[in-house]
Amino acid sequence: MRKVYLSLSTVAEAQKKIVSFPSPLTAEKVPLAQSLGRTLAAAAVAKVSSPAFNGAAMDGVAVKAEITYGARASKPLTLEIGREAFWVNTGAPLPPETNAVIMVENLVINQDIDPPTGAPNVTIEEAVFPWRNVRKIGEDLVETEIVLPQGTAIGAYEIGALAAAGILEPMVFRKPQVVFIPTGSEMASLDSLTPEDLKAGHKLPEFNSLIVQALVEEVGGRLTVWPIVPDDPGKLKETLLKAVDGPFDLIVFNAGSSAGSKDYTAGLLQENGELLVHGIKAMPGKPVAIGKVNQKPVLGLPGYPVSAVIAFELLGLPLLKNWQSAVPLERPNAQVRLFQDLPSKPGLSEFIRVKLGRVNGELVAAPLPRGAGTVASLAKADGIIEIPAISEGLSASQPATVSLLRPLKTINGAILAIGSHDNALALIDGLLRRRDPKLSLTSAHVGSLGGLLALGKGLTHIAGCHLLGEDGTYNQEAIRRFLPGRGVTLIRLVERSQGLMVLRGNPLKIVSLADLTRPEVTMVNRQKGSGTRALLDYELRKSGLDPQSVRGYEDEEFTHLNVAAAVAGGRAQVGLGVLAAAMALGLEFIPLGWEEYDLAILKRDLNDPKIQVLLEIIRGPEFQKEAGALGGYGFKRTGAEVFSLD
Amino acid sequence: MRKVYLSLSTVAEAQKKIVSFPSPLTAEKVPLAQSLGRTLAAAAVAKVSSPAFNGAAMDGVAVKAEITYGARASKPLTLEIGREAFWVNTGAPLPPETNAVIMVENLVINQDIDPPTGAPNVTIEEAVFPWRNVRKIGEDLVETEIVLPQGTAIGAYEIGALAAAGILEPMVFRKPQVVFIPTGSEMASLDSLTPEDLKAGHKLPEFNSLIVQALVEEVGGRLTVWPIVPDDPGKLKETLLKAVDGPFDLIVFNAGSSAGSKDYTAGLLQENGELLVHGIKAMPGKPVAIGKVNQKPVLGLPGYPVSAVIAFELLGLPLLKNWQSAVPLERPNAQVRLFQDLPSKPGLSEFIRVKLGRVNGELVAAPLPRGAGTVASLAKADGIIEIPAISEGLSASQPATVSLLRPLKTINGAILAIGSHDNALALIDGLLRRRDPKLSLTSAHVGSLGGLLALGKGLTHIAGCHLLGEDGTYNQEAIRRFLPGRGVTLIRLVERSQGLMVLRGNPLKIVSLADLTRPEVTMVNRQKGSGTRALLDYELRKSGLDPQSVRGYEDEEFTHLNVAAAVAGGRAQVGLGVLAAAMALGLEFIPLGWEEYDLAILKRDLNDPKIQVLLEIIRGPEFQKEAGALGGYGFKRTGAEVFSLD
């Protein structure tokens, strides 16, 4: 029943095996207007020169240069239009026997005649050399010249070059045909499931096909998605044989290649063909299988979306590109400073999604959650850091290399916010983008204290924080203690209503912190260093309650929304958080009081134009309107500088 | 009749004016599977959490963690399947009342039972903490969280994030609708013209619509192309009014915006609406017009393809992107060393297309022809260098900034060949790419001597050369003279048959160099420093002929093919060049003798893996076969090291 990975392949070994499948792609002609995104199957050879004739490069009159020799201001020369000189517009072919163009600006024309082209003659005061102001035949392209090599991906410029070369139907590779076969009795197509189905989890939504479809289309292929095949060995075999017999160049089986109890793909490949690779040294992406059945490549992808995407990018895309003689997609790299150490298991290449921001000239990378199921982290990520298989991880003291998912110029326009999470940050992101699409706010959630420490190290533009001090003030104590001499200003973002979140109807009748010590009550906590945790500890101390007596006190989450989700999902009965999070998840909220949520900013950055726009937005009416709609916010001192320390 | 640019706008001024047109784009819902390439019209808010339930992160048994406390190797605990422990696969929801998963690897199972899931109980030797091996609800996304901001371009990862968030029909902007109106009585649609029509030049091919269509599609828009409108003011006005009345968001008029005698667009805009911009300080791209008619933006593009492309990229694309709240496309930059000074006219931003190669770690840029009509140069270019309007040009002694058209990794795989042109270089490019899509050969044609000087400065990987010395040897004298101490090796590429190229039938009965001095014969020459020029001068000297007596001796071209094209096009009656070029253009060839065409390579680069592959290819059978088919080549010493100097 259980598959054991006999020996994992390195990524390079697996790539070598899959790209060794010979290309099945024949060539076909397509009209130029439909060739965008296709790939040249043969070198494009110019059918005509461009220009195909000697033409005027300027507006003026075409002449035989030799007749103008000797003309000068003191000895002007008059030329008869239609015999010695011929009006030409830019681009027009030169009349026979002419070999130069005199610009209209250099002609003396009788001003009484309108239009001047009606004049019987023109006068020149300067000679012209042969081929002056003439676009010579073949200047751009010469007939029979190789315009574009085989394997060229056709974009707008290539269409121009092909058109200029008279190639109206370029020879391109036919599109690679890929079939995607989702498997697993527990899977259901995404659009067949209601939100309630998704929450119940009896059926899991199949959407890897949509992601892989986009990846295949991006490299010029076409994906056919077959219905989900349940975990029935007979049905799977039947489907495999039908697929390899069909008009497909690559067969992709999804799920079933994990080492789970329903892993059939590897066995299926072994029984019906040849199993070439079973597992690669990559995380996410490890549980992959490559086989050859009926001479065709079959790729078994892991079920988790991030694993499936990374495995398909590592193995499927290079194959499709190679078949089209094209360079595999390689993302540009950049050097980054790591926000924190990134430990990793040796023996596997690990791919870490990161957020990026340029802080004081330096690119900073803050890691996103690593889980193979966190598909949204791929879309949120600005880059991917690969930790090599031989490494035990990367140290924050060393620069690291990131492979960029977005242009550096976009990343350079992002304000990096590391610190405590607040939904208002997403609103500010939206308002920044609406103001100027080049601006954005990108946030990583490490809690208030983590954010302030990052600010102190120059690793973030702003740090959202709400740390209640012993003296009852917010954030000031922490800044005095951890950031003396760094020059920090605190800008109030909002006041927030903090309280206990419980299920609607408050089934356990929780009314105050004292209820947390009841044996039937389990809470979900926030991580140490977060403002909410500090508030809880402050209030527990004030009420003389022992954290040891609170069940779930050790169970930590990193954001308000995740705490709310834990309560909504039944993992805990109560959590401490902001009203906005409770409202978002439909929970009941028992307010404990108002807290102050500030943005800490280094003084040196206050004049940064990005930060200036940020402050304008915070102080503007739109922000208050949109944040007000979320609920639980106060704006008494929003935008005010509430504290400053040199 | 003649339009005078009243005052040119800077590029930034023109951009500001055009992007101030408010967005006409409404939003629409599209199925996720069809959303690739579209842009989010509103922030995407998660409809469900992901995961939407607490699920197993490993295969094993789900338990209530608390019942396992105390279990250890010396005190194993047996759990009853179906009551205390429940088999779960990765991804499955946890059964009610359970809160942890024990990995199958950590279970003691009765080995006699197969499958093990049939066992009535399992034994554990270790306790498990709550939430161990559990994917918690909301780990990836929490319901109501903003998953992706407005203006996000939907790619594969975004489809994954939207799917995970339960957003099956994202709200996207409707596609911007652009109409393209080619104008000009001299224009005809590309597919209506035969190669003979193109050569005659009575009608010019209209293909800017194809390029602009691709540019519009690349940013998610749709282009409608209208039939060509002749230069008739009434017809043009009628067309403009029909277009602004139609379902289009942007109207593009092409041609007619140059200062040529048929420039109607600016006047048309002035008469029927408002002319906002007439001419921009950019070259190519200057003759542009922007107007507002019926509240809609009308963009008048220049006729020359490179001007049209650059003007549309500078003005049309930012507008379409801005309407979709998206960041304008900005290409990544890199620092380069210029192969030569780039003089430029102050007052205009000039955009120079360049070839790039990484030579000894440094990125080198060699300029391509600057003409606004050289559309193929856009496709050949690896990057574009912008010379600012305030500058008189760029000096080769200063690093310059290039905007990259290809990924740096692709450029890093290119062998740069600066020197004499030979068609065999294009064959080698093709063979390199077929060997490994990451490799290529990119060439800039500056003649033999220019190539050797570039090699001496470390500006090229290889220099193709065929310089006949006083001593009758090829290339050796030049290397001794110009590159002593640089460590150069000469690898023979081919022997080439050089001769006189004349029209088929040899109408002027040219048989030897002496015929070049006949008064009715005009030649086209190659540039100084080229091997062919050196050969001509050597042979003229040998025959006692005076270059002064040769008509056209001063008329220079830069490649064999361009010389052949000049003869084929009638600009000259004879030119000196290689057989391959004569055959390519259907010319007659009067052989003068064999010359030696070598590749000069620095010794330090001989072990570069790229150069190793190059040498393998030159020495392989495919190269000789393909080059042999071009004609005029000998391969006696092909691939041999014919000379070396430390």
Provide the pLDDT for residue A417. 96
B92 and A380: CB-CB below 8 Å? no
What is the structure's pLDDT at A258? 42
**Is B564's pLDDT higher than 60?**
yes
Q: Using CA atoms, how far apart are residues B69 and B71, in angstroms rounded to an integer?
A: 6
Q: Which residue has the higher pLDDT, B571 or A334?
A: A334
Inter-chain touch A569–B54, beta carbons under 8 Å: yes
| CA–CA gap between residue A299 and residue A296 (Å, rounded) | 10
Q: Do A166 and B198 touch (CB under 8 A)?
A: yes
Task: Give the pLDDT of residue B575.
Answer: 95
- Within a 13 Å sphere around the CA of B6, how many CA atoms are in the beta-carbon half? 8
A113: exposed, middle or buried (Cβ count in 10 Å: 0-12, 13-18, 19+): exposed
Best residue of A25, A29, A89 to probe chain B, by most B CBs closer than 10 Å: A89
- Alpha carbon distance A154, A171 (integer Å): 11
Which of B53, B94, B157 is best to mutate for the A interface (most A CBs within 10 A)? B157
- Contact call for A214 and B156, based on CB within 8 A: yes
- In chain B, residues with a C-beta closer than 8 Å to the C-beta of A149 are 426, 429-430, 433, 440
Q: Which of A54, A159, A198 sits opposite B569 (nearest CB)?
A: A54
Structure token digits, residue B152: 């996000």
Q: How far is CA A433 from CA A144, A391, A414, A418, B150, in A?
A: 49, 39, 10, 19, 8
Distance CA A479, CA A456 (A): 9
pLDDT at B262: 53
Burial of A388 (0-12, 13-18, 19+ CB in 10 A): exposed
Label residue B1 by pLDDT band (50, 70, 90).
Answer: very low
Q: Is the confidence at residue A6, as pLDDT, over 80?
A: no
Report the residue of chain A nearest B572, measured CA to CA.
A99
Alpha-carbon gap, residue B150 to B43, rounded angstroms = 4
User: Quick check: B211 and A156 CB within 8 A?
Assistant: yes
Domains in chain B: ranges and CATH: 11-23+175-323 (3.40.980.10), 27-51+139-173 (3.90.105.10), 55-135 (2.170.190.11), 333-412 (2.40.340.10), 448-645 (3.40.190.290)
Checking if the pLDDT of A263 tops 70, the result is no
- pLDDT for position B263: 64
Distances (CA, A) of B592 to A27, A92, B401, B554, B619: 41, 37, 45, 21, 27
Average pLDDT score, chain A = 90
Strands, E assignment, A89-170:
100-103, 107-108, 121-124, 134-135, 146-148
| CA atoms within 13 A of residue B331's CA, in its CB half-sphere | 17
pLDDT tens profile A162-189: 999 999 999 999 999 999 999 988 888 9
Which residues in chain B have Cβ-Cβ distances shorter than 8 Å to A206? none
Q: Say how far apart CA B455 and CA B450 lie, in whole Å.
A: 9
> Nearest residue of A to residue B55 by CA position?
A201
- As a whole number of angstroms, the distance between CA A390 and CA B222 comes to 49
Residues 6 or more apart in contact with residue B634 via CB below 8 angstroms: B494, B495, B496, B497, B594
**pLDDT tens digit sequence for B354-382:** 999 999 999 999 998 887 778 898 999 99
Query: Which two three-digit tokens encode residue B547?
Result: 């270059």
* Sign of the CA dihedral running B505, B510, B513, B519: negative
Kindly identify which residue of chain B lies nearest to residue A376, measuring between CA atoms.
B161
How many angstroms separate the CA of residue B375 from the nearest CA in chain A? 6
pLDDT band at A1, cuts 50/70/90? very low
- Which of A257-261, A386-390, B142-146, B620-624 has the least mean pLDDT? A257-261
The answer to whether the Cβ–Cβ distance between A1 and B116 falls below 8 Å is: yes
What torsion, rounded to 10 degrees, do the Cα atoms A272, A275, A280, A286 define? 20
pLDDT for B257 beyond 50 = no
| In the predicted structure, residue A253 carries a pLDDT above the cut 80 | yes
Between CA B402 and CA B406, with CA B404 as vertex, the angle to 5 degrees is: 150
- pLDDT confidence of residue A3: 46
* Cβ(A166)–Cβ(A49) below 8 Å: no
For residue B50, give the nearest of A308, A373, A194 by alpha carbon: A373
B138 and A562 in contact by Cβ < 8 A? yes
On the question of pLDDT at A310 being above 90, the answer is yes
Option in A141, A199, A440 nearest B376 (CB): A141
pLDDT at B261 over 70: no
Whether B423 has a pLDDT exceeding 90, the answer reads: no
Q: How many CB pairs under 8 A join A and B?
A: 423
For B200, name the nearest residue in chain A, comparing CA atoms only: A53
Measured in whole angstroms, the distance separating CA A20 from the mean position of its chain's CA atoms is 30
Q: How confident is the model at residue B3 (pLDDT cuts 50, 70, 90)?
A: very low
Interface confidence (ipTM) of the complex: 0.88
**Contacts B569 to A, Cβ<8 Å:** 49, 53-54, 136-138
Share of chain A above pLDDT 70, in %: 98
A190-194, A285-289, B80-84 — most confident range: B80-84
Residue A478 predicted with pLDDT over 60: yes
On whether the CB atoms of residues A130 and A99 are closer than 8 A, the answer is yes
CA B143 to chain centre: 42
Give the residue with greater pLDDT, B319 vs B267.
B319
pLDDT on residue A195? 79
pLDDT, tens digit (0-9, with 9 covering 90-100), for B282-306 = 989 888 999 999 999 999 998 888 9
Other beta carbons within 10 angstroms of residue B621's beta carbon come to 7
Strand order in the sheet with B107-108: B77-80, B121-124, B107-108
What is the average pLDDT across A618-628? 94
- Cβ-defined contact of A262 to B89 (cutoff 8 Å): yes
Q: Is the model's pLDDT at B4 over the cut of 60?
A: no
Instruction: Please check the confidence at residue A111 and state whether its pLDDT lies above 80.
Output: no
Give B466's contacts (C-beta < 8 A, 6+ positions apart): B420, B448, B474, B475, B496, B531, B532, B535, B595, B596, B597, B598
Q: Give the mean model confidence (pLDDT) for residues B186-207.
A: 84
β-pair partners for A323: none
Q: Mean pLDDT in chain B? A: 90
Rg over CA atoms, chain A: 34
